[in-house]
Structure 1
Amino acid sequence: MKFRTRAMITAALIGAAAAFSGTASAAEAGGAQFKALYTAEWSWRKQQFADDEDSGREISAHLPDVSLAAQQKRLAYWQDVQRELAAIDAAGLSPEDQVNYQIYKYQIDSLVAEQQFREYERPLNSDTSFWGNVAGTAQRSFLKEADYRNYVSQLSELPRYFTQNIENMRAGLKRGFTPPQITLQGRDATVDSVLKPGATEDNPFYAPFKKMPASIPAATQAELRAAGLAALRDHVIPAHQTLITFLRKEYIPGAQKSLAAWDLPDGKAYYQSRIREFTTLDLSPAEIHQIGLNEVAKIRAEMLEVMQETNFKGDLPAFLTFLRTDPQFYAKTPQELLMRAAYIAKQFDGKVADWFGRLPRQRFAIKPVPDDIAPYYTGGRGGPGIYLVNTWNLPARPLYSLAALTLHESAPGHAFQMPLAGENKDQPEFRQQTYISAFGEGWALYAEKLGVEMGMYETPYDRFGMLSYQMWRATRLVVDTGVHTMGWTREQAQQYMLDNTALAKHEITTEVDRYIAWPGQALSYYLGELAIIEARAKAEKALGARFDIRAFHDTVLQLGSVPLPVLHARVDRFIAEGGKGPYPDDE
């Protein structure tokens, strides 16, 4: 959408708001003006980014324009929105729109900061990449002919899209704004995995064509398969060949040697902006580091208590070695790991009614992480409709942590919270379809801890696995700030996590590289969980016998994904209303 088009839509909506204001209250008029602004911006915003499995949208026919000119236009656009937003009297809005205003302002401020610091010049880290995100489209559900035609159209745009990203990366390379070199080692293998099979049916981009819906006529299926292979030959393979040459000859050799975000251009301000975006809080690195140290000490004491329940004879380091090496704690086959995850998920289904009133309509599948990305991927990841379990390197996937992982990534974590947000049609779309890390990851980590109350951990080892996962996220507060502001080395960060968690060494290596390459993101989990725990404790104390856990959980999840101050304010209202939930069946 052009600026002129956005201006026309905004002007029309504001004009309607002005006419409406003659008979409406100031709050209604201000609300109409606010709605005009966010409706136009959201419509434009959706066109700026690639769609994915979390977007709730159908497969697009196009890849976004990520050129420098487009990035500069985005910055100017969102700065205009910032100014228009500041001109609205937020205090004069209705209570509901005051909440919407806080959430929307956070989103716009974050988008402006990303453009100002030129995050688009680093479209990759050790964990994800722009080319991997495009490849992820092949894993989505293709339901009709239009999905396939749009996908082929996307593939035809890969050379342009890759070239634009490479130009941005060159600009970042020139000014020293890249992920640390050590975290990029071997990541070119994910590009090579596309090149090796070439334009054949074994290529991962061809996956949607292998099994097509019976509703598509056979002749049309044959046509679409031929178009897919042609797109692989003419567009996908050449684009990946250009990319792998750039990565191997220019980008990885020239990437920055330092690990610290503070060593990037305007590094201190940049890292503080990452803290603000990922935690929604105005905390300093030193404050976060100290919170981490305090929480690590607290969890370590709990771990020692649970270790004693197992009758293990030895100290904590010896117990961690025992957990990392004893075969009883590891699946022997990928299928065994997947089936165990599915069993845990079904156990939760049998308990859900006691803890939640409103359930999402969308179910989720359990699938292995694709082979080409599994060596560098996390142990699991979840979202709307999917729970991915990493079955690569089984000695790094302990069963004692699987219950915590499943609660986090599937239900009641990401594959539960995110669909509930998307299905809440009472919220504006900018709340339904956006994800704020502090809330989303905080909720998922809270879901792990909630598993204790729900009876999801069957043995002391399972509970130790949960505590190890809590410790994992607490150590992130120490490691992330240590690396990016205090001169910590990669080895120092790895050793700190080895000493304090039961994670396998391989997983610690991939995780530390993720924190190094993605400053600030790791801080969102534990700080978000602390906010939910504190809000719940406050409600329990204030409401006493009137506190209903189902109503509390429904209240939190009904928000969607919000900055942590908004969460606290909503729980304060929950208390003031006597613990009443957001849905009639909570009463």
Structure 2
Amino acid sequence: MKKILLIGLCLVNLYSCKEEPKKEALAVTDNKAFDSILNNYYEESLKLYPLNATFQGDSRYNDILPNNLTDEFRASEKEFYANYKQKITIIKDEALTPSQQMSKEILLWECDRNLERLTFREDLHPIDQMWTMQLMMGQLASGGSSQPFKTVQDYKNWLLRLNAYVNWLETAELKMKEGISLGNVLPTSLIKKVTPQLLEMTNPNIEEHLFYSPIKIFPETFSTEEKEQLKGYYISMIKEKIIPSYQKLYDFMNTEYLAAGRNTSGIEGIPNGKEYYNYSIKLYTTTDMTADEIHQLGLNEVARIGTEMEKVKKEVGFEGDLKSFFDYVRNKKELMPFTSPEQVIANFNKIHARMKPQVDKLFGKQPKTPFEVRRTEAFREASASAEYNPGSIDGTRPGIFYVPIPDVKAYNMYSDEDLFLHEAIPGHHFQISLTQENEDLPKFRKTLWYSAYGEGWALYTESLGKELGLYADPYQYFGMLGAEMHRAIRLVVDTGLHAKGWTREQAIQYSLDNEAESEASITSEIERYMANPGQALSYKIGQLKIRELRATAEKELGAKFDIREFHNQVLETGCVPLALLEKKITAWIATEK
């Protein structure tokens, strides 16, 4: 026992104990040292990325916002990942339990992908209309997101974080100027989508400003003196720092940066763009597929789903071609019945109530984390897609399904059942919450996100609608087919944009020709893919893999196949690269047989 303890200490210190030979050290069966490495990785990662801690409900770093655009920060990231890669590479699989072996493979993947990321100049395009820091900070500033505003110290923490954010905004402008000199800039069409977002933050009416929102939700426990003091601090911050910073950035992006915007739509238009897209494919699909393979797969899936759509068109008695049916569905007034955003939210809650009785038949393990449907905040609603924000790990903050409703009278409900399955239950809410609640997983795995798995799972759950008592209306079933078609189209247009020289307009037209979304919605989607190359590939690649694994399990196990247990097997390990998921399900099938 003493010898094992000594070896464990050596593991923690990278086997620095010279008197113990490496081979003998690696034979340790205790494994607590490996768990310690995983825990240290998690804790250090929260210090490195304090916003992640905030979103997880960990308040220790709520006053901190590192400037992730600086060379110093990128160097610290490189050192962090290289250090942990070295630590775990030394440990042989024989020294670990099967669960720990999976953790090792996942952590190696994390280190490798991040080290590869740091070879590219992502810092030169720090702002886009969809994914970047200014949008995240706007969400937090609303007072209804992950940044807490329950104590006086919470309010002061946000002010400290805002001071750091002002520095970030200044650095963002400097980096974009460097990007201009190196020919590494955003497409012009994306710049035009960012500038209105910035301009909105220059509103001189302080009490209407987004960053004033926390002052409107003071807890009743605050004294009058505390409220007045904090109000003064926030007015000063907004008036003297936030508004001037946004105004300066807007002036730059609306003039000098806009003039330098590139005409190309795909990432190949920047230096090392082809290499960056290859990295992005691997990052988001967790596979070694090529752009050409994915493009062809997309074309095949578009053709297959189109055949299914023809059946629905025939069922409802529409006599025109499929493209005409898309227009018919887009503009059918009966599918746009709402007159207030509250009605849209209420409809999603009705969908939830209707499917609840069937959920137990498909899912044994279900999350305890509460769940809500909310309208997307006004400041980002115009360019936002429906999305899910996870609840906190301790369950005190609910998972939230955000729905953008920029024009309620034009809101078409034909895909709402499908959308709820994907973004909420049993899609992202089940998958993410069950992972966070799983006490058997090391902490770093509870908050990992691999799009191929996470988005693949959510897209897979869309196909469960009939089993859950939904899709009785052919238009709602068409909505499911439309959503799957949407993800198949993504395989075509994302690779088209970033690997085959497609223009923004070509990608928009291809989408219009093959799905029923509005032109405004499609345009927003195409610009989303332009801003984040490769992410759009993850949904269909992941879904097809999970479908393939289910089909294999059903065939191999026959009468022994239990859909509840299959879903449990897919969900219990949390987000993993697809190759590891396939390895796990294959082993489960063998055990069941």
User: What is the TM-score of this pair, normalised by structure 2?
Assistant: 0.90
Indicate how the Cα distance of structure 1 residues 379 and 96 shifts in structure 2: closer, same or farther if over 3 A, else same.
closer
Structure 1 counterpart of 2:474: 460
Indicate which of 121, 133, 151 corresponds to 2:158: 151
2:82 paired with 1:79: yes
Change (3 A) 1:319 1:152: same
Partner of 1:255: 261
Partner residue, 1:424: 438
Cα pair distance change 1:20/1:143, threshold 3 Å: farther
Question: In the TM superposition, what is the alpha-carbon distance from 1:548 to its structure 2 partner?
Answer: 1.3
Instruction: Tell whether 2:100 aligns with 1:97.
Output: yes
Distance 1:236 1:275 in 2: 37
When residues 312 and 10 of structure 1 are mapped into structure 2, their CA distance, relative to the original with a 3 A threshold, is farther
Mapping of 1:312-461 within 5 angstroms? 312-330=318-336, 331-384=338-391, 385-394=399-408, 397-461=411-475
2:150 and 2:158 map into 1 onto residues whose CA distance is 12
Pick from 92, 96, 110: which aligns with 2:113?
Answer: 110
Secondary structure of 1:392 counterpart = coil
- Judged with a 3 Å threshold, the aligned counterparts in structure 2 of structure 1 residues 18 and 535 are, in CA distance, closer, same or farther, namely farther
Tell me if the contact between 1:494 and 1:512 (Cα under 8 Å) persists in the aligned partners: yes
Q: Is the 8 A contact 1:332 1:394 kept in 2?
A: yes
Aligned to 2:91: 88
- Conserved? CA contact 1:110–1:277, under 8 Å: yes
Equivalent AA in structure 1 for residue 526 of structure 2: V
Residue of structure 2 equivalent to 1:481 = 495
Aligned residues: 570
8 Å CA contact 2:166, 2:242 repeated in 1 = yes
Check conservation: 1:379, 1:507, Cα contact below 8 A: no
* Distance change >3 Å, CA 280–CA 75, structure 1 → 2: same
CA distance in 1 between partners of 2:180 and 2:464 (Å): 44
In 1, Cα distance between equivalents of 2:65 and 2:271: 29
Q: CA contact under 8 A between 1:396 and 1:505: conserved in structure 2?
A: no
Alpha-carbon distance change, 31 to 349 in structure 1, aligned in 2, over 3 angstroms: same
C-alpha change, 1:192 and 1:93, in structure 2 (3 Å) is same
Residues in 1 aligned to 2:262 and 2:23: alpha-carbon distance in whole angstroms: 60
Tell me whether 1:181 sits opposite 2:188 in the alignment.
Answer: yes
* CA deviation after TM superposition for structure 1 residue 112, in Å: 1.1
CA distance in 1, matches of 2:452, 2:248: 37
Question: Is contact 1:380-1:405 (8 Å) kept?
Answer: no
Change (3 A) 1:571 1:380: same
Corresponding position of 1:3:
none
Alignment match, 1:127: 130
RMSD: 2.5
The answer as to 2:156 corresponding to 1:142 is no
1:156-176 deviation line (CA, Å, top 9, x unaligned):
222212122323333333222
Q: How many Å apart are 1:240 and its aligned residue?
A: 1.4
Matches within 5 A, 1:198-237: 198=205, 200-237=206-243
Measured in 1, the distance between the counterparts of 2:319 and 2:280 equals 44
Gaps of 5+ in 1: 1-8, 580-587
Q: Which stretch of the first structure deviates more once superposed, 466-475 or 109-118?
A: 109-118
Match of 2:4 in 1: none
* Residue segments in structure 2 that go unaligned for 5+ positions in a row: 1-8, 392-398
1:55 equivalent in structure 2: 56
- For 1:234, the aligned partner's letter is E
Identity within the alignment, %: 32
> 3-state SS of the aligned residue for 1:400?
coil
1:210 partner letter: K
What are the Cα deviations for residues 309-368 of structure 1, in whole angstroms up to 9, with x where unaligned?
112222211211111112111133322212111211232333221211112121122111
Change (3 A) 1:459 1:87: same
**Cα distance change on mapping 1:476 and 1:240 into 2, 3 Å:** same
CA distance in 1, matches of 2:279, 2:298: 19
Q: Are residues 134 and 401 of structure 1, via their aligned partners in 2, closer, same or farther at CA, if it must alter by over 3 Å?
A: same
Give the alignment partner of residue 276 of structure 1, picking from 282, 289, 293: 282
Distance 1:212 1:10 in 2: 51
- Report if the CA contact (8 A) 2:386-2:423 is conserved: no
Show CA shifts across 1:88-134 (max 9, x none). Answer: 32354321111111111111112112211122322233312211111
- Could you give the per-residue CA deviations for residues 19-44 of structure 1, whole angstroms, max 9, x where no partner exists? 99999984546945544443333322
Separation in structure 1 between the aligned mates of residue 102 and residue 244 of structure 2, nearest angstrom: 48
Out of 174-183 and 282-291, give the one that drifted further.
Answer: 174-183
Report the equivalent of 1:39. Answer: 39
Give the stretch that moved more between structures: 283-292 or 548-557. Answer: 548-557
CA contact (8 A) 1:401 1:466 kept: yes
Do 1:271 and 1:520's aligned partners in 2 also have CA atoms closer than 8 Å?
A: yes
Q: Residues of 2 paired with 1:338 and 1:205: CA distance? A: 25
Q: Does 1:542 align with 2:556?
A: yes
SS at match of 2:51: coil
The one-character-per-residue Cα deviations of 1:436-465 (angstroms, maximum 9, x if unpaired) are 111111111111111132222130000001
Further displaced range: 295-304 or 347-356: 347-356
CA contact (8 A) 1:125 1:514 kept: no
Alignment CA distance shift 1:450-1:558 (3 Å): same
Which amino acid counterpart does residue 415 of structure 1 have in structure 2? H
Deviation at 1:14, TM superposition (A): 4.5
* 1:37 to 1:381, Cα distance in 2 relative to 1, 3 A: closer
